[in-house]
A and B are shown apart, each in its own frame.
Chain A
Amino acid sequence: MIVGLDVGGTHTDVVVLQGKEIVRKVKVLTDEEDLLKTVCFGVFQAIQGLEVKSIERVVVSTTLATNAIVQEKIEPVGVLVASGPGINPWAYVIGDHYYPVRGAIDHRGIELASINDSEILEIGKELSYKNIHNLALVSKFSVRNPSLEFKMRDLLADNFQSVTLGHKLSGHLNFGRRIATAYLNAAVTQISRKFYNAAKGCIEKEGIQVPLEILKADGGTMAQEVTEQYAVETILSGPAASVMGTLTFADRTKEEVVLDIGGTTTDIAILVDGVPLLKPLGIRMGGFNTLVRGLRTFSLGVGGDSWVRLEGGELKVGPERKGRALAYGGPEPTPTDALVALGLGQGGQKQRAIEGIRRLAERMGESLEEAAEKVVSKTCALILETVNALVERVNQQPVYTIHELLKGRQINPSGLIVIGGPAKELAPRLESMSGWQARVPPNYDVANAIGAAIARTTCEVTVLANTNRRHVIAPEEGYVDTIDWRATKKEVIRIAFDLLRKKALRLGAHEENLEMELLEDNEFRMVQGFYPVGRNIRVRAQVKPGLIYPYSEAGA
Chain B
Amino acid sequence: MKAKRKTGLVLFPAFDWAISETHPEREERLLYTQDQIFEEGILDIEGLLEFNPSLASTKEVGRVHFCVPKAESVVTESHYISAGGCITVAEAVLEGKVDCGFALVRPPGHHAMRVVHGARGFCNINNEAIMIEQMRQVHGVDRVAIVDTDCHHGDGTQNIYWHDPDTLFISMHQDGNTLYPGSGFPREMGGPNALGTTVNIPLPPRTSEEGFLYVMDRVVLPILEEFKPEIIINSAGQDNHYSDPITAMNFCAQGYAKLTDKLKPHIAVLEGGYSIEGALPYVNVGIILALAGIDYSWVREPDYDPEEVEQTEEVRGSIIRTCDFLFEEREKCGQKREKYLEGKEFVERSKTVFYDTDNIIEEQKEVIRVCRECAGVLKIDSYADTKNHLLGIRIPRKSCKTCQEIGRKWFEEGNVARFNLVCLQDGVNDEYYVKRK
Contact = CB atoms under 8 A, between A and B. Distances in A.
Contact of A401 (B14, B32, B298): B14
A403 B13 CA distance: 12
A92 B297 CA distance: 15
Interface residues of A, number: 43
B277 interface: yes
Interface in A75-102: 83-89, 91-92
Interface in A133-183: 140-141, 172-177
Interface string B8-37: 000111111110011010111001101110
A398 B11 contact: yes
B303 to A, nearest CB: 8
A97 B302 CA distance: 27
Contacts of A401: 14-16
Interface string B63-99: 0000000000000011001000000000000000000
Contact of B77 (A84, A173, A406, A524): A406
Interface in A50-95: 83-89, 91-92
Interface in A103-130: 104, 106-108, 112
B356 interface: no
B302 A112 contact: yes
B50 interface: yes
Contacts, number: 117
Interface string A178-214: 0000000000000000000000000000000000000
B53 A86 contact: no
A98 to B, nearest CB: 15
A91 B1 contact: yes
A480 B355 CA distance: 47
Given A174-B38, A400-B15, A536 B31 contact: yes
Interface stretch (A19-27, A215-223, A382-390, A526-534): A526-534
A91 B34 CA distance: 20
B22 A402 contact: no
A182 B15 CA distance: 31
Contacts of B210: none
B277 A87 contact: no
B182 interface: no
B369 interface: no
A556 interface: no
B385 interface: no
A405 interface: yes
Interface string B31-64: 1101110111110100000111100000000000
Interface string A532-545: 10001000000000
A539 B299 CA distance: 29
A532 B21 contact: yes
A89 B298 contact: yes
A351 interface: no
B147 interface: no
A552 interface: no
Contacts of B36: 86, 107
A399 B52 contact: yes
From B41, B245, B289, B297, residue with most partner A Cβ within 10 Å? B41
Contact of A173 (B38, B81, B295): B38
A41 to B, nearest CB: 41
Leading 9 A-B pairs by shortest Cβ distance: A176-B41, A173-B38, A173-B39, A107-B35, A112-B302, A401-B16, A524-B28, A88-B298, A401-B15
Interface of A: 83-89, 91-92, 104, 106-108, 112, 140-141, 172-177, 289, 396-403, 405-406, 522, 524-527, 529-532, 536
15 contacts: A86-B39, A91-B295, A92-B41, A107-B35, A107-B281, A173-B35, A176-B1, A289-B44, A400-B12, A401-B16, A406-B77, A525-B27, A527-B22, A530-B24, A531-B22
Interface of B: 1, 11-18, 21-22, 24, 26-28, 31-32, 34-36, 38-42, 44, 50-53, 77-78, 81, 245, 277, 281-282, 285, 289, 294-295, 297-302
Given A86-B299, A527-B24, 18 more contacts: A83-B298, A85-B282, A85-B299, A88-B297, A92-B41, A107-B36, A112-B302, A141-B39, A173-B39, A289-B41, A400-B13, A400-B14, A400-B34, A402-B17, A406-B77, A524-B31, A525-B21, A527-B28
